[in-house]
Structure 1
Amino acid sequence: MALVGKQFPNITVDAISEMGDDLRINVLEEATKNNKKVLLFWYPKDFTFVCPTELHAFQAALPEFEKRNTIVIGASCDTNEVHFAWLNTAKDNGGIEGVTYPLLADTTRNLSSVLGILDVTSETYNEELDSVQIEGSNVTYRATYLIDETGKIFHEAVNDMPLGRNVNEFIRLIDAYSHVQTHGEVCPANWEEGKEAMNANRTSTAEYLAKLN
């Protein structure tokens, strides 16, 4: 179920800082109380292959997100202890040493379940064991959420596990949304900061395309 246009779930999750401090983070409150946008990205597992490339890519772009009044938060279902071990593993050894934004540890899967991003192919009740048997890895896909200052989700995307993200696209989306917030104009295909946008009441698609040509 699409969550765009809805309030981000009001759920508090365990997390860890770069220094190893145990935290409790509510993503909705991070946005509304700090009057900032939030980029929350989920990855399947610590100590894997594609995941560290993404965490380092978000870290490299962190100054650009900060310029745009945007908080970056990573998340998986690993524990704080595993996060901390990964944070203290050198990049050359597949670690994420140098990452400074917080990481959620959704070990209960309370938030990821509500978001519907867990790899669960089926759930079957076993009468003999009186329990639910899960098929699937029960870890998250590569889901990304952009949340505005009111806590509203204005972008969501979910990649299959082998597919890494394009970090620059999220910067572009934040720029576009900020332009809409500031100017009330709409942003056409491939719009980037500095390009002309469209006034939905005065600019027709034909007029806009004619200017491009």
Structure 2
Amino acid sequence: MSFVGKKFPNIEVNAMSDLGDTFKINVLNEAVDNKKKVLLFWYPKDFTFVCPTELHAFQEALAEFEKRNVKVIGASCDTAEVHFAWLNTPKNNGGIEGVTYPILADSNRNLARTLGILDSNEVYDEVADAYLLEGDDVTFRATYLIDETGKVFHESINDMPLGRNVKEYLRLVDAYTHVQQHGEVCPANWEEGKDAMNADRKGVASYLASH
């Protein structure tokens, strides 16, 4: 199920700050109440391999997101305590020390299950006479961009081995903001400062003729 064009789920989740504070975050309310865009990115597990490279990459771009009025939130199904341990592990030891944005601890998987991003499948086992889960029941690398009204305007899901390109999310935010401000649409490979176009036949023809 895709959430693009729909409201993000109204679900409160535990979170951990870089200071070791456990608190609650409702992603929908973060967008609507603060009139901000939100980038929410999910990763499979703390203390793994591709995951810390992504968390550090989002941290390195944090000022660029904040300049665009975007709140960055990380998320996995690990507990808040495991997040805190990872936040206190040095970067040169595979940790995420220095990450300052909040990280959701969706250990009961309420939000991840609602979004449909868990790597799991319930199957009946005749020997056990019970329904068992296949898979690790952790999330794929899912990313959501949510606007100031709480509407999802982008979602993407990568398989476990595939790290994200953080710059692409900055480009998507720029493109969506351009649409909001100017009413134009953004063609393929659009970047800030390039020509957009009107959403009609004349606009498309004019753009294609000049490019």
- Per the shorter chain, which TM-score range? over 0.9
Q: Once the two structures are superposed, what CA deviation does each residue of 1:175-209 show, in whole Å capped at 9, x if it has no partner? A: 00000000000000000011110011374323212
User: 1:5-154 alignment to 2 at 5 Å?
Assistant: 5-120=5-120, 122-125=121-124, 131-154=130-153
Task: State the one-letter code of the partner of 2:195.
Answer: E
Residue of structure 2 in register with 1:179 after alignment: 178
Q: SS of the counterpart of 1:204?
A: helix
Q: Once the two structures are superposed, what CA deviation does each residue of 1:103-149 show, in whole Å capped at 9, x if it has no partner? A: 000000000000000001x3124588675310011000000000000
Alpha-carbon distance in 2 for matches of 1:119, 1:190: 31
Q: Once the two structures are superposed, what CA deviation does each residue of 1:138-165 show, in whole Å capped at 9, x if it has no partner? A: 0000000000000000000000000000
Q: TM-score, normalised by structure 2?
A: 0.96
How many residue pairs match? The answer is: 211
Q: Percent identity?
A: 73
Q: TM-score, normalised by structure 1?
A: 0.95
Alpha-carbon distance in 1 for matches of 2:86, 2:147: 30
Question: Unpaired segments of 5 or more residues in structure 2?
Answer: none
Alpha-carbon distance in 2 for matches of 1:71, 1:127: 47
Cα separation, partners in 2 of 1:195 and 1:30, compared to 1, 3 Å: same
CA RMSD after TM alignment: 1.4
Task: State the one-letter code of the partner of 2:149.
Answer: T
Residue of structure 1 in register with 2:2 after alignment: 2
Task: State the one-letter code of the partner of 1:182.
Answer: Q
Residue of structure 2 in register with 1:167 after alignment: 166
Task: State the one-letter code of the partner of 1:70.
Answer: V
